Amino acid sequence: MNTRKTLSVALADRSYDIIVGHNLLRDAGQLIDPIITHEPVIVVTDDNVAGHHLGTLDLALQSAGIASTVITLPAGENTKDYDGFHNLVTSILDIGPERRSTLIALGGGVIGDITGFAASVILRGIDFIQIPTTLLAQVDSSVGGKTGINTQHGKNLVGSFYQPRLVLADTGTLDTLPRRELLAGYAEVVKYGLLGDKAFFEWLEKNADALIDGDETLRQQSVITSCRTKANIVSRDEKETGDRALLNLGHTFGHALEAETGFGEKLLHGEAVAIGIMMAFDLSTQIGLCPVEDTTRVRAHFKSVGLPVQPTDISGQAWSSTALLGHMAQDKKVRDGKITFILTRGIGNAFITSDVKISDVEALLDKAIAA
């Protein structure tokens, strides 16, 4: 199937389109041409993605007559730090950008986040376009305008809300993505069903295997539904003062797990989110909010696709509930000293609360790391 779907993120004069489709990269030149007012456009990518997809983008820009220059960063989360940011900004300033210049982020969430942040501060803000190439970036990080870098104090602690001018999600680029990365992104797809769309979760239960194995139609549908949900939430609550926090389902626990494992290869973000979602469901069941059948059903789904569901699924890691709780207390989502949780009354029925007894959380953590 080669349908294209355009969704819009409605944010007054900062509104933008998300185009989802197969082989969009080939037509990227025509698609971005209306936005470009100054050349060269500056493409930022990483060395993995460059090997797979930069050639196609280059050709597309050339055939639309758009001059471009490329900055290639090392692949991996380590690029998203002060040094990586300094290098990127220096490389961009060396090119001599103007206020009308445009950056294009071609890559996963790392490239999207650091490029978006650079765009937000260079010359007090220049345009940027997201071309996400991981499932995680297509359904999550490229949409919504959160940009930033990691510091020694934690992930994404320095950054800005800065919306792209356009998002091009070419589901064909996922064909080169390692399966483990694809699955990690899939955990975020499931999250959209769990937080407010039970029918989507049921659709995923039916279609997950084929989708993961490469069915293009199903991949497009899942990206479209995910982006639509995120776009709607972001349009309502750009700066996360209200229900945008629902998107953090599984993330308070997940970030604590990632912090303990050092934000590296041992536990990918999406894997941490899968475990974190299970912890949120287990806690909700433990305190009498969520039917145990729903929790069992979600766990079975994650397991069936091969995602981890509990901390002890990560081999070679010793866990401490005190350490995990310590990380949770430092999370950005802490407000007035209270940890915000996204809990659930069942599949498709998540809600935000700061009203959780720490003793309940401790009991949950103890159980989770003993499992």
Instruction: Point out which residues bind ligand NAD (CB under 6 A).
Output: 46, 48-49, 52, 75-77, 80, 107-111, 113, 133-134, 136-137, 140-141, 144, 146, 155-156, 173, 176-177, 181, 269
Q: How is residue 54 written in tokens?
A: 């930069």
Asked about 240 being catalytic, the answer comes back as yes
Task: Give one DSSP letter per residue of 93-160, joined into a string.
Answer: HHH---TT-EEEEEESHHHHHHHHHHHHHGGG--EEEEEE-SHHIIIIITSS-EEEEEETTEEEEEEE
Q: Give how far Cα 305 sits from Cα of 77, 171, 210, 279, Å.
A: 25, 19, 10, 18
Give the residue nearest to ligand NAD (CB). 109
Asked about 248 being catalytic, the answer comes back as yes
Q: Which is nearer to ligand NAD, 141 or 229 (CB)?
A: 141
Catalytic site residue from 80, 191, 228, 248: 248
Asked about 188 being catalytic, the answer comes back as yes
DSSP designation for 2: -
Give me the least distance between CB of 360 and ligand NAD, in Å please: 27
Q: Which is nearer to ligand NAD, 22 or 80 (CB)?
A: 80
Give me the least distance between CB of 312 and ligand NAD, in Å please: 23
Asked about 180 being catalytic, the answer comes back as no
Catalytic site residue from 165, 191, 251, 299: 251
Q: Which is nearer to ligand NAD, 116 or 346 (CB)?
A: 116
* Pairing status of strand 146-151 against strand 154-161: antiparallel
Contacts of residue 371, defined as CB under 8 A and 6 or more positions apart, other chains included, come to 310, 311, 312
Asked about 146 being catalytic, the answer comes back as yes
Asked about 251 being catalytic, the answer comes back as yes
Nearest to 11 by CA among 348, 350, 244, 188: 244
Q: Which is nearer to ligand NAD, 289 or 352 (CB)?
A: 352
Q: Which is nearer to ligand NAD, 54 or 361 (CB)?
A: 54
The neighbouring-strand residues paired with 146 are 161
Asked about 244 being catalytic, the answer comes back as yes
Give me the least distance between CB of 210 and ligand NAD, in Å please: 20
Give me the least distance between CB of 23 and ligand NAD, in Å please: 13
Distance between CA atoms of 187 and 271, rounded to whole angstroms?
7
Q: Which residue has the tokens 């934690």?
A: 154
Query: Which residues does the annotation mark as catalytic?
Result: 124, 146, 188, 230, 240, 244, 248, 251, 255, 269
